């Protein structure tokens, strides 16, 4: 029998301080139900990001779990919340955790009971159960879909368009927004910009959904089935030709004529190639904190002439960019393809007083905080989950942030700078990169 490949433990890296967007249907309330260790981070998160008034937690004991009494506790909690919260929420989300997967909760019976006791409210269960990762529909997608499950069919349909799955809006001067305006399509509707429950319901009137992140695949499928709103997957990418092709696909779905994007393509490619030339072969690392499809990003950069040496992909098996990953494996054998949470990268990162393994700064450009930390990279381009990088503008912006990372005067250790501010290579030609691993 073939020996099963050992799956590795996941090592946690410090998370960079980023502002998180809270996805919240206006007029909804989330009750987190579970052990206190599970509910705590959500309550802290809500408090940090101004959502504290819309969440509460019911933390259950082992006795509650064993006796099965916790289902009654949910009903009692809803009763208490209905009295306390004014006005009463339109929607109650019941968020349950990993242990619920093992408890055999009759979800439908619970929801039926609540709906009959509180007919003016709506209820949905959200599962926050990473223990079920690797299933076809992962936890994040399931939870995300519930946010859109309360949209009712809106008539008449208008020329609005929903952006689904993103957590930040596109820049105001983004080329895709300009294109939509040119086509007479609008308004753009995003869940996190809905201020009222009525705004949220207007999403049901839109003519098309743009799927901006795979996490919302379930949501767009649901809206297609329930509301008749079709969708197009238009996720951040850095291949200029692919951006143009996708824009025209969207146009086709909207009944618009094909547009010639050759000038935009040429400009983006030229910018990228010039930036690659300026790096003069400096090794580049990308990771899944920078882009949700790091292999796709890496492939695009390789095609522009960047010397990509490392790709740190996610250990979650979503395979969003499987094709690009296969390309790298087959065509770029020198590229190290690994996961950012592998414990192999821990060596030298701990704070042991006897530690002599602290890594010297690696002469490379890290696109993403994780690989910057793991490699102790000399240059760091702060890109987070492709946010702010979309379309042709995204390619130009990425190149700008790469150039700034190399030539910025704020780089920590100027004495080790390989490049001076004019872009001249000051190195002695030594390459300390170990292509086999970190």
Partner 1 sequence: MGQLCIYLIPFASDFSGICSAFYDLDCMSAICDASCCTSQYVYYDEPRWEKKVKPVLSCSIRNIDAVMGNDARIVDEICHAAEKIDTEIISIVGTPVPAITGMDIEGMASETEAVTGKAAFGFNTTGFSYYDKGLILAGKALIDRFAKGASAGEVRHDDGRAECAGAGEVRRNEKKKINIIGMSPLDFGDVGNDTDFRKFLEDNGWEVMCNLFMGLTTEDLKNCAKADINLATSAAGVEIADYLNKKFAMPYVAGIPVGRDCGRILLGNLNDALSAEKKQVGGLSSECKIETGGLGSVCKAQAGETEGSIARVTEAEESVTKQCNADKKILIVSDQVIGNSLRDSIRVGKLSHALQIDVASLFTFKKNIAEGGDKKLKSEAELIRLLRRGKYDIVVGDPSIKYIPDAADVKFVEVPHPAMSGVMHSGEVKRYLNFEICDEIGSFI
- Binding of partner 1 by 101 (CB under 8 A): yes
Nearest approach, Cβ of residue 328 and partner 1 (Å): 24
Residue among 22, 23, 43, 111 that touches partner 1 (CB under 8 A): 43
Residue among 3, 5, 6, 409 that touches partner 1 (CB under 8 A): 6
- Binding of partner 1 by 93 (CB under 8 A): no
- DSSP characters for 38-90? HHHHHHHHHHHTT-GGGEEEEEPPHHHHHHTTHHHHHHHHHHHHHHHSSSPPS
Please answer whether residues 401 and 346 qualify as being in contact, where contact means their C-beta atoms are separated by less than 8 angstroms: no
Nearest approach, Cβ of residue 316 and partner 1 (Å): 9
Cα separation of 100 and 71, whole Å?
A: 11
> Which strand ranges, in their side-by-side order, compose the sheet holding 377-381?
336-339, 307-313, 283-287, 362-367, 377-381
Residue among 50, 68, 112, 130 that touches partner 1 (CB under 8 A): 130
- Binding of partner 1 by 343 (CB under 8 A): yes
End-to-end, the C-alpha distance of the chain in Å comes to 32
Residue among 90, 233, 346, 384 that touches partner 1 (CB under 8 A): 346
- Binding of partner 1 by 73 (CB under 8 A): yes
Please enumerate in sequence order all residues whose Cβ is within 8 A of that of 407, keeping only pairs 6 or more positions apart, or say none.
419, 421, 423
Residue among 21, 23, 27, 40 that touches partner 1 (CB under 8 A): 40
Cα separation of 210 and 201, whole Å?
A: 17
For residue 354, the 8-state DSSP code is: T
Q: Which is nearer to partner 1, 75 or 254 (CB)?
A: 75
Q: How far is CA 221 from the centre of its chain?
A: 19
Nearest approach, Cβ of residue 287 and partner 1 (Å): 16
Site string (215-254) toward partner 1, x via CB under 8 A: ----------------------------------------
Rg (CA), the chain: 24
Residue among 3, 5, 7, 172 that touches partner 1 (CB under 8 A): 7
Binding residues with partner 1: total (CB under 8 A)? 65
Listed ranges 72-80, 188-196, 253-261, 297-305: which one lies at the site for partner 1 (CB under 8 A): 72-80
- Binding of partner 1 by 203 (CB under 8 A): no
| Residue 41 exposed, middle or buried by CB count within 10 Å (0-12, 13-18, 19+) | exposed
Question: How distant, in Å, are the alpha carbons of 128, 306, 367 from that of 272?
Answer: 40, 9, 15
Residue among 28, 39, 314, 338 that touches partner 1 (CB under 8 A): 39
Listed ranges 37-45, 203-211, 282-290, 404-412: which one lies at the site for partner 1 (CB under 8 A): 37-45
Q: Which is nearer to partner 1, 253 or 346 (CB)?
A: 346
Please answer whether residues 213 and 147 qualify as being in contact, where contact means their C-beta atoms are separated by less than 8 angstroms: no
Nearest approach, Cβ of residue 292 and partner 1 (Å): 17
Question: What's the half-sphere exposure (Cβ side, CA atoms, 13 Å) at 20?
Answer: 15
- Binding of partner 1 by 47 (CB under 8 A): yes
Residues forming contacts to partner 1 in the complex (CB under 8 A) are 6-15, 34-41, 43-45, 47-48, 52, 56-65, 69-70, 73, 76-77, 80-81, 84, 97-99, 101-103, 128-134, 315, 343-344, 346-347, 349-352, 354
């Amino acid at each position: 029998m073939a020996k099963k490949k050992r799956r590795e433990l996941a090592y946690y890296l410090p998370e960079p301080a980023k502002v998180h967007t809270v996805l919240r249907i206006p007029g909804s309330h989330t009750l987190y139900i579970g052990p206190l260790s599970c509910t705590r981070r959500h309550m802290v998160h809500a408090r940090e990001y101004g959502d504290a008034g819309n969440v509460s937690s019911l933390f259950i004991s082992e006795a509650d779990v064993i006796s099965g009494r916790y289902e009654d506790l949910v009903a009692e909690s809803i009763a208490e919340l209905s009295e306390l919260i004014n006005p009463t929420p339109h929607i109650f989300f019941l968020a349950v955790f990993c242990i619920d997967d093992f408890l055999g909760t009759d979800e439908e019976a619970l929801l039926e009971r609540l709906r009959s006791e509180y007919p003016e409210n709506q209820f949905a269960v959200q599962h926050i159960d990473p223990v079920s990762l690797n299933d076809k529909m992962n936890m994040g997608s399931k939870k995300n879909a519930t946010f859109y499950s309360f949209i009712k069919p809106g008539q008449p349909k208008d020329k609005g368009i929903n952006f689904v799955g993103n957590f930040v809006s596109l820049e105001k001067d983004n080329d895709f927004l300009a294109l939509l305006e040119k086509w007479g399509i609008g308004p753009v509707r995003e869940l996190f910009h809905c201020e009222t429950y009525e705004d949220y319901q207007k999403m049901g009137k839109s003519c098309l959904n743009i799927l901006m992140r795979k996490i919302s695949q379930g949501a767009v499928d649901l809206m297609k089935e329930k509301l008749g709103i079709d969708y197009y997957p238009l996720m951040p990418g850095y291949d200029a030709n692919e951006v143009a092709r996708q824009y025209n696909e969207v146009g086709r779905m909207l009944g618009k004529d094909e547009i010639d994007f050759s000038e935009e393509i040429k400009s983006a490619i030229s910018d990228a190639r010039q930036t690659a030339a300026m790096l003069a072969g400096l090794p580049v690392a990308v990771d899944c904190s920078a882009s949700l499809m790091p292999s796709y990003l890496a492939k695009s950069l390789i095609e522009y002439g960047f010397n990509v040496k490392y790709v740190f992909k996610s250990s979650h098996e979503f395979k969003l960019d499987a094709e690009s990953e296969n390309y790298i494996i087959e065509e770029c054998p020198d590229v190290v393809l690994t996961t950012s949470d592998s414990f192999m990268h821990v060596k030298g990162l701990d704070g042991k007083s006897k530690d002599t393994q602290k890594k010297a700064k690696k002469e490379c450009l890290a696109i993403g905080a994780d690989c910057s930390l793991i490699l102790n990279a000399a240059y760091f381009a702060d890109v987070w989950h492709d946010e702010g990088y979309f379309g042709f503008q995204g390619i130009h912006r990425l190149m700008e942030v790469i150039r700034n990372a190399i030539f910025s005067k704020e780089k920590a250790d100027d004495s080790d700078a390989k490049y001076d501010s004019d872009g001249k290579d000051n190195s002695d030609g030594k390459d300390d990169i170990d292509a086999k691993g970190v």
